[in-house]
Amino acid sequence: MKFTKFATSSLISGLLLGLFSCIDNDYDLNKDINLEISVGGNLSLPIGKTDTIRLSRMIEEGDVLHVIDGKYVINKADNISENIDAIDPVVIDDFAPDFKPYTRRFETQTGEIPDIPGLEVPDIEVEFEADIHTTENFNINTEIPTEVKAVKSIKVTDNNGQTLHTTLDITISGMPVFLPRLYLVGVELKFPQVLDFDIEASNEIVRDGSSIFISKTVELSQGSGKISIPITVYGFSNPIVENGTLILTDEIAINGKIYADKQTVGADDLENTTINIQPNLTLPTPQIRVDKVAGTIVPNVDINTSVSLSDLPDFLKEEGTALEVKDLSLGLSVQNPIEAPISTKFRISPLNENGDVVNDNVVSLALKIAGGQKSDFTITKNSPEITSGSLTALLHTIPDKIDIEVTEVEVESENDDQAISLGKNDYNINIDYNINVPLEFENLRIFYNDTIEDLSSDLADITDKVKHLEISAVVDNAIPVDLTLSVEPRNEAGEIISGITLPESVKIEAAPNGNGTIQSTAVKITIKEERDKALQELDKLSIKIEGVNSDGNNDVTLRPDQFIVVRMSAKLPDGAQMDLDDL
């Protein structure tokens, strides 16, 4: 806001010179005549009026201040786009259980061959059978990244990032060389429920829950044979995670019997014969890799931006200014790159030029963003997304900038498919924001300080002649703010001058808000010299303007077409002492 210095000296000197323009220059006034005379005595002259001073001349639009629909609006729209920090990949070294070989004895059959739905049972007459029950335990104990807070499911691959195709081999040895084959009928391979796997079902292999049932013929050569069961492992569902460590110690079990056909052996051929059995889970790579995790994950983020308010009008940033804006609207449009919903926390901080928080007010927001989508929010002062702080108090005093920071992104998987990939470094969060603050106030208290300088040169010709000056004015005000004007006289060093009396303050009444009505206020400014030659020391006038909304007016809107016009007249109540030689 700029104030134009009024050329008081020109007005007064012009006034006085006009009074003496009629003096006849033919008279010799230089000899033995006192040329000092008193002029005036309650002399009054209209000075005129100022131009219409509109707010548009005092408040300039800039990067963040605009005129929208005829109102001043702080408005800033921009974009933040940053990648979430990649979560370190995890490698599991000892996935396969260490099955020990074991020996079983053939015995005469005592029961019926089991009938499993979906399995083809061979047409054989059983003579002998051997129980092949055995169990082993997984032994996984692997640290997971600290960003992973809770696990719903884990997806794994081989160490090359390919689908984990494993094979369960059951090797049989130690059989008589004449025996051509054996039969596994209804053998159950029972996996832990935590294991997420699948098979290619056939009439030899069927799946029921976490169990696989097998009906296969083991062809023997030199007393040995092997069957292989392909199994695709996808990961783990609801695994145990303790103190940041993935733990899997559950059992894998083989239950069932192996049979010998009566048609291929005699009554005594397998009596007291033992069978050696070696299960083994074969992996395509020695290690497996954790590819994705579904659950609660809090990756590291560094997403922030600053909105500069440096080009706002000076009067809004003066010390002591207090603003209570009616509302502040923050539009946020957040693109979630992850298929799972994310909960985000925003921190909005008003900062001064040193980076310190002003207004003792930091606003925190909590937003939930749908998985893989863009979510739009309009945050106002009563929005439920505000968890702490006051949105409108961000501008209680105008900061140099407003920081917008994403402090946390928490992935909250609702199902196993909503997973985040480990090692992926291009999860990009894209945020469009729009700050919109109409300069509409419920309570307004503004200060403006300025100084009119170098008056001593302008008033040098008259300050020794005038001791008492009255300026009367009628102020037409269309701005809905009460204005109080205070003036202090100062010398060239900037010190307050004693011996000059000025009114303590002048009040200009506010116009009603919004209806275009003009409020006229009559004011009088009296300048009087109480100490000899005090006016001659006058070089500066310190001006302080305080603006507040009037009593009962809790709705103040600043518009560029609002204005002030001042009509003035000057009076010399005590006249002026003039020397005709100076004319």
Q: Dump pLDDT digits (tens) for 160-182.
A: 999 999 999 999 998 888 888 88
Which range, of 27-31, 74-78, 453-457, averages the lowest pLDDT? 27-31
Residue 468 or 391, more confident? 391
Q: What is the mean pLDDT of residues 121-135?
A: 82
Q: Mean pLDDT of all residues in the chain?
A: 82
Query: Long-range contacts: 141-144, Cβ < 8 Å, 24+?
Result: 141/245, 141/246, 141/247, 142/90, 142/91, 142/92, 142/93, 142/245, 142/246, 142/290, 143/90, 143/244, 143/245, 143/246, 144/90, 144/241, 144/244, 144/245, 144/246, 144/290, 144/293
Amino acid at 486: S
- Roughly how many angstroms between the first and final C-alpha of the chain, as a whole number? 39
- Among 3.40.50, 1.10.3470, 2.60.120, 3.30.2310, what is the CATH number of 63-84+323-437? 2.60.120
- Residue 18: is its pLDDT beyond 50? no
* pLDDT, position 26: 42
Q: What band does 71 get if pLDDT is binned at 50, 70 and 90?
A: confident
Residue tagged 């992104």 (tokens): 409
Least confident of 5-9, 320-324, 461-465: 5-9
Rounded CA separation 457/449 (Å) = 22
Alpha-carbon distance of 368 to 336, in angstroms, equals 10
**Whether 300 contacts 419, CB under 8 Å:** no
Q: 359: pLDDT confidence band, cut at 50, 70 and 90?
A: confident
pLDDT value of residue 376? 96
pLDDT at 361: 93
pLDDT in tens, 280-334: 988 999 899 999 999 999 999 889 999 998 878 777 777 777 788 888 999 999 9
Q: Report the CATH number of the 42-58+443-577 domain.
A: 2.60.120
Q: Within 10 A of 249 (CB to CB), how many other CB atoms are there?
A: 11
- The predicted pLDDT at position 533 comes to 84
Residue 13, amino acid: S
| Better-predicted residue by pLDDT, 350 or 576 | 350
Higher pLDDT, 424 or 25: 424
Q: Is the pLDDT of residue 36 over 60?
A: no
pLDDT attached to residue 431 = 94
pLDDT of 7: 35
Topology match between the domains 42-58+443-577 and 63-84+323-437:
yes
With 90 as the cut, is the pLDDT of residue 386 above it?
yes
What is the per-residue pLDDT for 582?
Answer: 53
Sorted by where each begins, the domain ranges of the chain are: 42-58+443-577, 63-84+323-437, 88-108+122-293
Would the pLDDT of 513 be above 70?
Answer: yes
Contact 124, 263 (CB under 8 A): yes
| DSSP-assigned beta bridge partners for residue 107 | 129
What is the rounded distance in angstroms from the CA atom of residue 477 to the CA atom of residue 54?
Answer: 10
Phi, psi of 56 (to 5 degrees): -65, -25
Average pLDDT over residues 555-565: 82
For residue 322 the two structure tokens come to: 């207090």
> What is the dihedral angle through the alpha carbons of 485, 489, 491, 492, rounded to the nearest 10 degrees?
20
| DSSP result, 63-100 | SSEEEETTEEEEEEEEEEEEEPPPPPPEEES--S--PP
Give percent above pLDDT 70 in the chain.
Answer: 85
pLDDT at 35: 40
Burial class for 117, CB neighbours closer than 10 Å (0-12, 13-18, 19+): exposed
| Confidence check: pLDDT of 258 > 80 | yes
Strand ranges (E), 174-273? 181-190, 195-198, 205-208, 211-219, 225-237, 240-242, 245-248, 251-255, 257-261
Give me the amino acid identity at 574.
D
Say whether 289 sits in a helix, a strand or coil: strand
* pLDDT at 395 exceeding the cut of 80: yes
pLDDT, tens digit, 9 for 90 and up, residues 404-457? 999 999 999 998 889 999 999 889 999 999 999 988 887 777 777 777 788 777
User: Does residue 543 have a pLDDT over 70?
Assistant: yes
pLDDT confidence of 51, banded at 50, 70, 90?
low
Lowest mean pLDDT among 49-53, 312-316, 412-416, 521-525: 49-53
How far is it, in rounded angstroms, from Cα 485 to Cα 506?
A: 5
pLDDT interval class at 49 (50, 70, 90)? low
Give the closest residue to 39 by CA, choosing from 22, 24, 19.
Answer: 19
**Residue 104 backbone dihedrals phi, psi, to 5 degrees:** -130, 155
Residue-level pLDDT at 20: 32
Q: Which residues contact 420 (CB under 8 A, 6 or more apart)?
A: 87, 292, 293, 294, 297, 299, 338, 340, 411, 427
- Greater pLDDT, 42 or 293: 293
pLDDT tens digits, one per residue of 203-257: 889 999 999 999 888 999 999 999 999 999 999 999 999 989 999 999 999 998 8
* DSSP letters for 373-429: SEEEEEE-TT-TTEEES-SGGGGSS--SEEEEEEEEEEEE-SSTTS-EETT----EE
pLDDT of residue 23: 35
Q: How many CB atoms within 10 Å of residue 121?
A: 14
Report which secondary-structure segment, H or E, holds 290.
strand 288-297
- CB 82 within 8 Å of CB 301: yes
**Residue 84 corresponds to which amino acid?**
I
Q: Does residue 16 carry a pLDDT above 50?
A: no
